[in-house]
Structure 1
Amino acid sequence: MYVHLIMMLSLGLGSFICGLVFLVTSFSGASSVIEWELMSLNSVCVNFVIILDWISMLFMCFVLLISSSVMYYSGSYMKGDMNFDRFMYLVLVFVFSMGMMVLSPNLISILLGWDGLGLVSYALVIFYQNEKSANAGMLTVLSNRVGDVAILLAIGLMVKLGGWNFIFCVYELMDKDWFLLKMLVMLAAMTKSAQMPFSAWLPAAMAAPTPVSALVHSSTLVTAGVYLMVRFSPALEGSKIQSILLIVSCLTMFMAGLGANFEYDLKKIIALSTLSQLGVMLSILSLGFPDLSFIHLLSHALFKALLFMCAGVIIHSVSGYQDIRCMGCLVKFMPLSVSFMTVANLALCGFPFLSGFYSKDMILEVAFMSEINFVSLILYVLATGLTVSYTFRLIYYSLSGSFNLSSLSNLEDGDKIMSNSMIMLSLSAVFMGAVLSWMLFPEPYMICLSVFMKNLVLMVSVLGASAGYFMNLMSVSCNLKSLLRYEIVTMSGSMWFLPSLSTKNLSKVNLKGGVVMEKMADKGWYEFMGPQGVYYSFSKLFYVFNVLQVNGIKVFMKMFLVMVVMMSAGLYI
């Protein structure tokens, strides 16, 4: 019964300790490396390494802080579930796997946490045992396996360096000879952070309980790819990888923002906003600013966890509905939860002096100041406007619009545990962005922009807010007009058909090809020319050699007699 309290206190204590270590390492400029040699193979040592520097300690501080809040929140949210203890232990293993990944500068020990995240995320996505959850879990785990294979291939390539501690030889990887290794690392980050064309699994993972969504989409699973790219960022300078990553991430954030404006599932809208922000992080990282990407990763984790917690409270209050059209006017019934959700939404939009403002506004200004192509600039502008648009659309439908629930619905902020767990994150969403910017950027950035470019973000945000709120006031006419462009609306609302391409069509092709390969290869030529055929041939050959070795005199006499008979027969003829 008190499992969630014990875990919450333990994770909170761990967050406090990591925060103290971060302060020590950041002010002293020193970092510690703990290394165990597991085995040695031809002068290549397989080591288990832990690094304690300001990046890993700060990130672990945030991971444990959010995890402790989620644990406390889950004590009320999952209270009636018969598998409550199993859920808590799965979440704890999930946090442990993230810690393994964050604290390791070694590609082999990173793989332990990387695979742990994929395995436990599958177990959490299928926690509610139904067909939808099973399909979502399979899509999640198979999409992430692509990244796991990329990490394994990268481990094989790094043997050439004589070790797998990439953080100590990251500048050697800047050479053009390591292009394939960097491509594999980028592929792994793209699958874990759900960049195109691997984006379909992230909204599908909403089949998991809401506390899991709050943890996964804020500081753990989807941020692992961004964190890995931050660690590898010095090796990407001057590489073609940056151009590839820039266009992929810009397309991802535009596609996610567009899809969120056509989505009606509350959790999927927030999931698509996560996907859009992951595109922002990777795009600014590809421009050569990993510090900006990292600070946005931290500030985004706070208000996104708060946003999912508010969504969970609302879903509980409206009897399990997730369709925003079945909500409305919640501000009159749940003022506390709606206040927290509004703070999180405004932080997501980059409202001045909230946590998202200090990272997102600087990211956009630095991107506009950088040498990027026109397509990327347009995608940045459109994605910014779409972010504000779907946020205010969500506010209209769920918080301030007309009341669409039944007249017998009883809505209130009655759960103190869930409300208390959101208070700490709401304060962090307000103040932590300023604190992070003061600590990580003691010297100001020099930003030189024209008046138009400086005000472009503000103009796009105002236009996006107006479109997202006031156009949905005319929802009936908008829905009727959308039927005239049904194909465009369908494509925009379905993430450019990525879910169907990642599941039905791809599985049909793979299954048909698999049947053909099984008949022609696995049960055909592979049986005769592959390992089974080689085994059969060698077994016969070894039998002959064994007979020759054991029965040498008998075989010699038989062979001698045969030769004599053949020679005599030849002479007779």
Structure 2
Amino acid sequence: MLCPFSICVLSFIMLFCLSLVFVFLGFYFIMMDLVYFIEWEIVALNSSSIVMTFLFDWMSLIFMGFVLFISSLVIFYSEEYMTGDLTVDRFIMLVLMFVLSMMFLIISPNLISILLGWDGLGLVSYCLVIYYQNVKSYNAGMITVLSNRIGDVALLMAIAWMLNFGSWNYIYYLDGMSNSFEMTIIGGLVMLAAMTKSAQLPFSSWLPAAMAAPTPVSALVHSSTLVTAGVYLLIRFNSVIFDSGLGQALLVISGVTMFMAGLGANFEFDLKKIIALSTLSQLGLMMSILAMGLPKLAFFHLLTHALFKALLFMCAGAIIHNMKNSQDIRFMGSLSGQMPLTSICFNVANFALCGMPFLAGFYSKDLILEIVAMSYLNSFSFFLYFFSTGLTVCYSLRLAYYSMSGDFNSSSLHPLNDQGWVMLRGMLALLTMAVMGGSMLSWCLFPTPSMICLPMWLSTLALSVSLMGGWVGYELSNFSLFYKLQSFHYYLISSFLGSMWFMPFISTYGVGMTPMSAGGLMLKSFDQGWSEEFGAQNIYSYSMGYSGVNQWWQNNDLKIYLVSFILWIMVLVVFIMI
């Protein structure tokens, strides 16, 4: 049996080497314009065969490389973060199963094998969310797994509908049949599945709840695996979504999700939940760009977001680890003096999230906003894009103000330091990619520069909105007493905006009080009531009565009854004749 240290190190080395191979293969496939479609016949019996298909193109290879790179650093980081956990080997095995499920999903051009990875992600994510065994984790795991089951059922219905085609390899039907009725139905079901996995409205409440998992899991889930699975699936199905007109509905839903998450993060004080809501906001951005028919740009933002979001969660984990598991940002402060190296990584990741030139997030976010400004878009969607960008900078600067500046607000006897070198090495590797990754990906994915011609006020709008959002975030934090008093003054509005528009309550109490109670009533009245009375129990009672008569008949001598019967007949005949 390997010790936990060797499991972490071996997993890190294996995944890191594989990630380099896949990334370089992906860049080679881009340059040579290659696509490999591999079919592996697992079982052949008479005329039937079970075939496993794999699709290797530049998109799947680069995405696999990024997932493996981030997961390798997360496992390396977990070696120190999970110190003292007696079941750390089980934790590493769960993370490896999680990564394996994501690999299946990425390389599958077939809805059946996609379901294998899709359900694997759902099951292992449930196991990881309830890893810390307490009531809060159990509740969070339950809302996570039940929300994702809706998407699983939608995917199963899409598989059933694809029986019309004679094959489950959806990749064959995307171009020629993208606006047919059958593909529209399948596209709608796949879109529903992607909305549950990527936590779009009205399925958003599970994403902050999943923060009950250990922080390394959050770094992996919120950067490149679970929540991006829906986005990746829609990138593959983009021609169906765009041609069938489903993109218009997706644009509104994802835009409102982006706006809702940005507003909610400004009212939140839990460090991990703020970062989770920022993930939700960025997922809305990716989905909305997909709805506009730009899958390559959505994929570019997915990759750059994975780099700085994993770094942001790792820094948050290091801070929580040193704060002795306190996550409230009001108890932090002056962390830049106590943990300078962690603070550098944290601020760089925050600036990349805001789209600071020339960090990773800038290359994708700025390009997205400029293309949005150049597109034929209604004023409501245009407002959601740019206002949500301002909100991103607003909550990021608020988070930095509470945690990095001012006085230290926790106990005077504190263990804050930057001596966790194992965690820091993992963070510094991601720091390099958060600074350089955006430009490298931009050069590889978009070798020909795009010509964007805008008037001055539109070309500077993204920068102006970001600066305005940052100023508002700073002012709100600076006048925190006034801000809190106003929040209490308008308590209903504050509670509505700060609780994701009451979505967690609807997802728990609403589901529990209405459909569940109705289901209990149906169970008592029908399944255990009239159905039993006229069904199984009725048949049972009649069968028991008839079998009793039959048994009584079997247990007696037939001759005695026959003689008695004949005698009675004779007596009756004599009586009638007389």
Is the CA contact (8 Å cut-off) linking 1:46 and 1:163 kept in structure 2? Answer: no
The alignment status of 1:433 with 2:438, answered yes or no, reads yes
The alignment status of 1:232 with 2:223, answered yes or no, reads no
Is the CA contact (8 Å cut-off) linking 2:184 and 2:240 kept in structure 1? Answer: no
Aligned pairs for 1:273-292 within 5 A: 273-292=278-297
- In the alignment, the residues of structure 2 paired with residue 48 and residue 522 of structure 1 have an alpha-carbon distance, to the nearest angstrom, of 42
Q: Secondary structure at the match of 1:503?
A: helix
The alignment status of 1:246 with 2:226, answered yes or no, reads no
Is the CA contact (8 Å cut-off) linking 1:245 and 1:282 kept in structure 2? Answer: yes
Q: 1:471 to 1:108 in 2, by over 3 A?
A: same
Partner of 2:84: 80
- In the alignment, the residues of structure 1 paired with residue 251 and residue 373 of structure 2 have an alpha-carbon distance, to the nearest angstrom, of 14
- In the alignment, the residues of structure 1 paired with residue 120 and residue 539 of structure 2 have an alpha-carbon distance, to the nearest angstrom, of 37
The alignment status of 1:483 with 2:493, answered yes or no, reads no
Partner of 2:361: 356
Is the CA contact (8 Å cut-off) linking 2:27 and 2:444 kept in structure 1? Answer: no
Partner of 1:385: 390
Is the CA contact (8 Å cut-off) linking 1:172 and 1:235 kept in structure 2? Answer: no
Q: Secondary structure at the match of 2:226?
A: coil
Q: CA deviation at 1:409?
A: 1.2
Q: CA deviation at 1:239?
A: 2.2
Q: Give the structure-2-normalised TM-score.
A: 0.90
Aligned pairs for 1:207-218 within 5 A: 207-218=212-223
CA deviations on 1:334-372 (whole Å, 9 max, x unpaired) are 110000000000000000110000001101111121112
Partner of 1:7: 11
The alignment status of 1:409 with 2:423, answered yes or no, reads no
Aligned pairs for 1:306-321 within 5 A: 306-321=311-326
Higher mean C-alpha deviation, range 518-527 or range 493-502: 518-527
Q: CA deviation at 1:527?
A: 5.1
Partner of 2:374: 369
Partner of 2:405: 400
Query: Which has more radius of gyration?
Result: 2
Amino acid of the structure 2 residue aligned with 1:332 = G
The alignment status of 1:101 with 2:117, answered yes or no, reads no
For structure 1, the residue ranges without an aligned partner over 5 or more in a row are 540-573
CA deviations on 1:176-233 (whole Å, 9 max, x unpaired) are 4132211100000000000000000000000000000000000000000000000111
Q: CA deviation at 1:45?
A: 6.8
Q: 1:167 to 1:535 in 2, by over 3 A?
A: farther
- In the alignment, the residues of structure 2 paired with residue 159 and residue 104 of structure 1 have an alpha-carbon distance, to the nearest angstrom, of 18
CA deviations on 1:154-186 (whole Å, 9 max, x unpaired) are 000111111011112211341241322111000
Amino acid of the structure 1 residue aligned with 2:263 = L
Amino acid of the structure 1 residue aligned with 2:142 = M
How much is the aligned-residue C-alpha RMSD, in angstroms?
2.1
Q: CA deviation at 1:20?
A: 2.7
Higher mean C-alpha deviation, range 519-528 or range 368-377: 519-528
- In the alignment, the residues of structure 1 paired with residue 436 and residue 539 of structure 2 have an alpha-carbon distance, to the nearest angstrom, of 68
Higher mean C-alpha deviation, range 407-416 or range 511-520: 511-520
Is the CA contact (8 Å cut-off) linking 1:326 and 1:405 kept in structure 2? Answer: yes
CA deviations on 1:492-548 (whole Å, 9 max, x unpaired) are 000000000001222111221111211233234555888x69999xx9xxxxxxxxx
Equivalenced residues, count: 538
Is the CA contact (8 Å cut-off) linking 2:334 and 2:405 kept in structure 1? Answer: yes
- In the alignment, the residues of structure 1 paired with residue 192 and residue 228 of structure 2 have an alpha-carbon distance, to the nearest angstrom, of 14
Q: 1:42 to 1:512 in 2, by over 3 A?
A: farther
Partner of 2:61: 57
The alignment status of 1:149 with 2:149, answered yes or no, reads no
Amino acid of the structure 1 residue aligned with 2:325 = G
Partner of 1:184: 189
The alignment status of 1:127 with 2:131, answered yes or no, reads yes
The alignment status of 1:518 with 2:515, answered yes or no, reads no
Partner of 1:424: 429
The alignment status of 1:25 with 2:29, answered yes or no, reads yes
**Which of 110, 119, 122 is the aligned partner of 1:115?**
119
- In the alignment, the residues of structure 2 paired with residue 398 and residue 103 of structure 1 have an alpha-carbon distance, to the nearest angstrom, of 41
Q: 1:535 to 1:335 in 2, by over 3 A?
A: farther
Q: 1:455 to 1:44 in 2, by over 3 A?
A: farther
Q: CA deviation at 1:96?
A: 0.5
Aligned pairs for 1:522-537 within 5 A: 522-524=527-529, 526=531
Q: 1:37 to 1:513 in 2, by over 3 A?
A: farther
- In the alignment, the residues of structure 1 paired with residue 138 and residue 352 of structure 2 have an alpha-carbon distance, to the nearest angstrom, of 34
Amino acid of the structure 2 residue aligned with 1:49 = T
Q: 1:533 to 1:293 in 2, by over 3 A?
A: farther
CA deviations on 1:463-518 (whole Å, 9 max, x unpaired) are 10011112211101111122111111000000000000001222111221111211
- In the alignment, the residues of structure 2 paired with residue 219 and residue 157 of structure 1 have an alpha-carbon distance, to the nearest angstrom, of 29
Is the CA contact (8 Å cut-off) linking 1:44 and 1:163 kept in structure 2? Answer: no
The alignment status of 1:465 with 2:475, answered yes or no, reads no
- In the alignment, the residues of structure 1 paired with residue 353 and residue 444 of structure 2 have an alpha-carbon distance, to the nearest angstrom, of 21
- In the alignment, the residues of structure 2 paired with residue 289 and residue 96 of structure 1 have an alpha-carbon distance, to the nearest angstrom, of 28
Q: Secondary structure at the match of 1:97?
A: helix
The alignment status of 1:259 with 2:259, answered yes or no, reads no
Q: Secondary structure at the match of 1:406?
A: coil
Amino acid of the structure 1 residue aligned with 2:101 = S
- In the alignment, the residues of structure 2 paired with residue 13 and residue 449 of structure 1 have an alpha-carbon distance, to the nearest angstrom, of 44
CA deviations on 1:82-124 (whole Å, 9 max, x unpaired) are 1111101000100000001111110000000000000000000
- In the alignment, the residues of structure 1 paired with residue 28 and residue 483 of structure 2 have an alpha-carbon distance, to the nearest angstrom, of 56
Identity %: 54
Q: Give the structure-1-normalised TM-score.
A: 0.91
Partner of 1:567: none
Amino acid of the structure 1 residue aligned with 2:473 = G
